[in-house]
Chain A
Amino acid sequence: MSHLTLLIAEDVSKRFGGVQALADVSFTINHGEIYGLIGPNGAGKTSLFNVLTGIYAPDGGTFNFDGEPLERVKPNEVAERGIARTFQNIRLFQNLSALENVMIGRHVRTRAGVFGAILRDKGTLAEEAAIEKRSYELLEYVGVAKRANDLAKHLAYGDQRRLEIARALATEPKLLALDEPAAGMNATETQALKRLLEDIRRDGITILLIEHDMKLVMSVCDRVLVLDYGKKIAEGTAAAVQNDPKVIAAYLGGEVTLNLKGA
């Protein structure tokens, strides 16, 4: 593998009962790119996320992340290795403040244990102060610092999406996997999100982006992978994928002749 490659997926498969959610999907993501993952509903995009982040075990295939295989790892180990994610249906810690949500993201990069917590020694206090400061900076980075002390569930929808990104960034990921971050956002919010994604990339973090907002995908992604019924049907630059007949067929339906009068 070249030093440019961050993630290699080879023949990844996942089956749920009779449904083949993923069928031998292979792709590579390079350092520093925004890699789009699109496909119609039920195409297997979120399944791919769940398999990649260790929530499901794949039935077949392998991932290689940052030069090392990512096999039979638990979700928390995946986060430790440097993959952070957001969820399609926002999964914030609802009854904690926005700031605390981000502070929890710092967990994996900090160390204080029971005794540190009880004794509050200098090291623990310094770590706590650093966690708090860094988390606040991340809230400012994504633009929800004003709501730092509000419960996550009281934030506006768009802010919740951005808070989830801040929480993921707090884990210091090499790869940030976003599951439909623009869902439910209006045009202005989507524009702001686009700028945020570009900022994140500029700051050296690779992004894997599931998104249904094609305008966003086409304007921000370097390369795009298209899934349909669990299979990879196209991969390439946004422009190339856009004109691929297979992709058009997947989204708009192929040429199907219907005989309504019966056989």
Chain B
Amino acid sequence: MALQALGSLRGQRSGDSRKRGGTPMTAHRRSKSVPPKVWAGVVLVAVALALLPFVAALAGQAWVRILNFAMIYIMLALGLNIVVGFAGLLDLGYIAFYAVGAYMYALLASPHFGIHLPFWVILPLGAGLACIFGVLLGAPTLKLRGDYLAIVTLGFGEIIRIFLNNLNTPVNVTNGPQGVNLIDPFRVGGFSFARAESILGVPFSGPQKYYYVLLLLTIGVIVINIRLQNSRLGRAWEAIREDEVAAKAMGINTRNVKLLAFAMGASFGGVAGGIFSATQEFVSPESFGLFESIIVLAMVVLGGMGNIPGVILGAILLTLLPEVLRSTMEPLQNALFGRVLLDAETVRLLVFGIALVAIMLYRPAGLWPSAVRKRELEVPKVVAE
């Protein structure tokens, strides 16, 4: 074995290793200039994303709304991915944080209490409150794993929904099963994102305007996720997922790191909930049932747990697939049999179920599983022997 001239192993704190030996660490990877091909790709994708709502509108405004929903689900799935994919904590009650964010927005921007705060105030508040709820759920479940954690989180999700359903007496907080109506859309000054209008001669519908807000937020959430994953904290999450005992033995404070996973995941759910409230202009407890939690979990698992592009793909597919089936099944049956044998909703769930089973059988790690993150080091090689 080569004896490396490393000097003493002891006594080197992280900061000073750069100063040693007169070979300053080059800011590798970042210092490389971005090749023009990559720039061209980025521009192309940006143009495509900018034009997408107009392309979708050719098939009807409903498809623009579906795109918006896809982005809300991307945010939810990425938030859940922090808890399930990175930290390996199975959470079946994730939708509760979505509900917290949605109701936060609904109550602070509707005639229900007569409060009308602007969205840029409520969204951070909603994220913060969801964050607190994340810690509230995380704290008592720190010692649980796997099935046991799943059961407790499932209960938590249901508790939140039942609270929302029943908090209309003795003091009417949530308006119970009727939900909250007439929620304010996003507004900046006199500019409302819900109103159709022409901007510079181009006609924009409400959903098309929201599309751009959602696009920005989604990109923000994606960037934050990527950065979290490739950080000291992200590695600590993955260490806990891989082996909690070893993670502890390596000095990771698993309690704090797990709570951070719950808190971060929940805050994304809170933001997504706020936007959901604003785009729908109506919320009720019905939107936050167990089935929603399971759909979001399915997005994470099918896409590829722990892999950000995979999770995004999962969210898009599972949002679009049911809609595509809904719009094709009846015409298809009419063409084949001359009449509708099974109504679209039934076929939709059937095909959906079959698709899930097939993916789990043939691609158990998800459609786009995570690969090894290669790190190209430019560490000056120590001369061996």
> Which A residues are closer than 8 A to B by beta carbons?
53, 55, 74-76, 78-80, 84-85, 87, 91-97, 99-100, 103-110, 112-114, 116-118, 120, 124-134, 136-137, 140-141, 143, 148-151, 167-172, 174, 192, 195-196, 199-200, 203-205
The residues of A that contact B249 with a CB separation of less than 8 Å are 53, 55, 75-76, 78-79, 84-85, 87, 91
Please list 28 pairs of residues, one from A and one from B, whose beta carbons are closer than 8 Å in the complex, sorted by A's number. Answer: A55-B248, A74-B248, A76-B250, A76-B254, A84-B249, A87-B246, A91-B249, A92-B246, A93-B243, A96-B235, A99-B375, A99-B377, A108-B250, A112-B231, A112-B232, A117-B231, A124-B231, A131-B14, A133-B25, A134-B12, A137-B17, A140-B2, A148-B377, A149-B374, A169-B9, A195-B3, A196-B1, A204-B9
**Chain A proximity mask over B212-246: 1 for CB below 8 Å, otherwise 0:** 00000000000010011001111110110011011
Q: Report the bound CA distance from A74 to B251 in whole Å.
A: 9
Using known A-B contacts A107-B235, A203-B10, determine if residue A75 contacts B1 with beta carbons closer than 8 Å.
no
Using known A-B contacts A91-B245, A137-B379, A149-B372, determine if residue A171 contacts B25 with beta carbons closer than 8 Å.
no
The residues of A that contact B235 with a CB separation of less than 8 Å are 96, 100, 103-104, 107
> Which B residues are closer than 8 A to A by beta carbons?
1-4, 6-15, 17-18, 25, 27-28, 30, 224, 227-228, 231-236, 238-239, 242-243, 245-254, 260, 264, 372-375, 377, 379, 382, 384
Contact B246 A107 (CB under 8 A): no
Name the residue among B17, B228, B260 with the largest chain A CB count within 10 angstroms. B17
Contact A203 B25 (CB under 8 A): no
- Name A118's contact: one of B17, B18, B227, B377 (CB within 8 Å): B227
The residues of A that contact B377 with a CB separation of less than 8 Å are 99, 132-133, 136, 148
The residues of B that contact A124 with a CB separation of less than 8 Å are 231
- Total number of A-B contacts with CB less than 8 angstroms? 189
Q: Report the bound CA distance from A99 to B245 in whole Å.
A: 19
Q: Report the bound CA distance from A167 to B250 in whole Å.
A: 8
Q: Report the bound CA distance from A99 to B12 in whole Å.
A: 19
Contact A130 B242 (CB under 8 A): no
> Is chain B's interface secondary structure helix, strand, loop, or mixed overall?
loop
Contact B239 A151 (CB under 8 A): no
Contact B252 A76 (CB under 8 A): yes
The residues of B that contact A143 with a CB separation of less than 8 Å are 1-2
- Name B242's contact: one of A78, A94, A112 (CB within 8 Å): A94
Nearest-neighbour CB distance to chain A for B69, whole angstroms, equals 26
Using known A-B contacts A109-B14, A151-B372, determine if residue A96 contacts B382 with beta carbons closer than 8 Å.
no
Contact A97 B1 (CB under 8 A): no
* A91 to chain B: closest residue by CB: B246
- Name B1's contact: one of A118, A125, A192 (CB within 8 Å): A192
The residues of B that contact A99 with a CB separation of less than 8 Å are 375, 377
Nearest-neighbour CB distance to chain B for A186, whole angstroms, equals 15
Q: Report the bound CA distance from A33 to B224 in whole Å.
A: 46
Name the residue among B12, B17, B27, B372 with the largest chain A CB count within 10 angstroms. B372
Q: Report the bound CA distance from A176 to B126 in whole Å.
A: 46
Q: Report the bound CA distance from A197 to B24 in whole Å.
A: 29
Q: Report the bound CA distance from A171 to B9 in whole Å.
A: 10
Q: Report the bound CA distance from A2 to B7 in whole Å.
A: 27
Contact A116 B231 (CB under 8 A): yes
Q: Report the bound CA distance from A55 to B264 in whole Å.
A: 28
